[in-house]
Structure 1
Amino acid sequence: MKQSTAITIATGVAAAAIGSIFLYSRATRPPVINPEVPEPARPVELARYLGKWFEIARHENRFQKGLDAVTAEYALDEDGRIRIVNSGSQSGQQGASSSVEGRAIVADETTNAKLRVSFFGPLYTGDYWVLDHGDEYDWSIVGEPSGRYLWVLSREARPAPAMAETLLKRVEALGYDRWALRITRQG
């Protein structure tokens, strides 16, 4: 076999593999729960946003399927990027735990409310929008522009029921179907 034929075959195989990954990724995305995602409601002070958050609810997705006791920790690296460590357990606190580390950069320096996040290296980045947050950074609602993903976060593992209800009402006010969210069980 000639070298140019081998290169053509290898290129075709690589293109088919990349195409298959792309199609799988698109086929396993969750449905849209907000076709008109709003812009973030207010700027974010990154220093106040950093730290540990507990997931209160989310729109279920393949990379978190079945996880409970979910937390997200944000820290500023020396290079200005934000380090993110997401953790959770299958079947609550007692199940097998998993974690993934990612990096983010600020995509909108005017508000700091839009980030570009990667958990899989530089080949894939996703949008991370802080759609709204509490005045004291005690809660946060995070989404992205496709309307397929949404997370409701709190500084407390189990906020008071009135606070949880207020957050779900805010989710609705932002145009999301609150009934499409999965409530996260925290230990």
Structure 2
Amino acid sequence: MNLLRILTLAPALLLTAACVGTPGPVGNTAVPQPAKPVEIDAYLGKWYEYGRYEAPFQKGCEGVTADYSLKDDGTIKVVNSCYRGGLDGKFDQSTGKAKIVEGAAGAKLKVSFFGPFYGDYWVLDHGAAGADGLYDWSIVGEPSGRYLWMLTRQARPDAPLRARLEARVKELGYDWELVRMTAQPEG
């Protein structure tokens, strides 16, 4: 890489680091490949975050949701929402886009919330599609092992699903001690 290119990219990289922050510790040194294909139509819709590895860009977020919808150009619109500082905190929302990684059977996406920068989003495992045709749970990670999200279709999953998610996260090699549970509103 030549000096001119480095000088040109440096401000963008510094801005990116400032916006995203320093990632947390590695919670999985051997992130597995996704366990099964993902049918995108079964993944679309609203998800509630059950738990996560704390990420700088989500610091203090509660009531976290993610909405995925298919756009006409084949990309996916991603709308992440949360309440900063608690369920009665300030509502915050970010809209981004995702594209499916070719050859990954729908289980790997590249997601961007700003600029030309894309991050890895791997659906490591998911539940079966229900009567509504939608997966009922999902575990998401990426290659560094620093990020992890558990998503469910219900704001407050029942005890059997909570136990299943914890067991599966551990089976995938993640450190459960680093998991931060997400508060969700009643009802």
Structure 1 and Structure 2 fold alike (TM over 0.5): yes
CA distance in 2, matches of 1:103, 1:117: 6
* Residues 98 and 19 of structure 1, relative CA distance in 2, 3 Å threshold: closer
Q: CA deviation at 1:182?
A: 0.4
Structure 1 window deviating more from structure 2 (21-30 vs 132-141): it is 21-30
Q: CA deviation at 1:26?
A: 8.9
Q: Does 1:134 align with 2:127?
A: yes
Structure with max Cα Rg: 1
Q: Deviations 1:106-163 (Å, cap 9, x if unpaired)?
A: 01344100001100121x1100000000012100000001111000000000001221
CA distance in 2, matches of 1:27, 1:100: 16
After the TM superposition, list the runs of 4 or more consecutive aligned residues in structure 1 that deviate by more than 2 angstroms: 10-27
CA distance in 2, matches of 1:167, 1:62: 23
* Residues 184 and 12 of structure 1, relative CA distance in 2, 3 Å threshold: closer
* Residues 98 and 22 of structure 1, relative CA distance in 2, 3 Å threshold: closer
Structure 1 window deviating more from structure 2 (148-157 vs 90-99): it is 90-99
Tell me the residue number matched to 1:44: 38
Q: Deviations 1:11-67 (Å, cap 9, x if unpaired)?
A: 997565346446657971111100100000000000010000000000001100000
Unaligned 5+ segments in structure 2 are: 130-134
TM-score of the two chains, using structure 2 as the length reference: 0.87
Tell me the residue number matched to 2:152: 154
What SS is found at the alignment partner of 1:185?
coil
Pairs within 5 Å for 1:25-174:
28-122=22-116, 124-136=117-129, 137-174=135-172
Unaligned 5+ segments in structure 1 are: 1-9
RMSD: 2.2
- The total of aligned residue pairs comes to 177
TM-score of the two chains, using structure 1 as the length reference: 0.87
CA distance in 1, matches of 2:18, 2:150: 27
Amino acid at match of 1:77: K
CA distance in 2, matches of 1:23, 1:85: 21
Structure 1 contact 92–186 (Cα < 8 Å) conserved: no
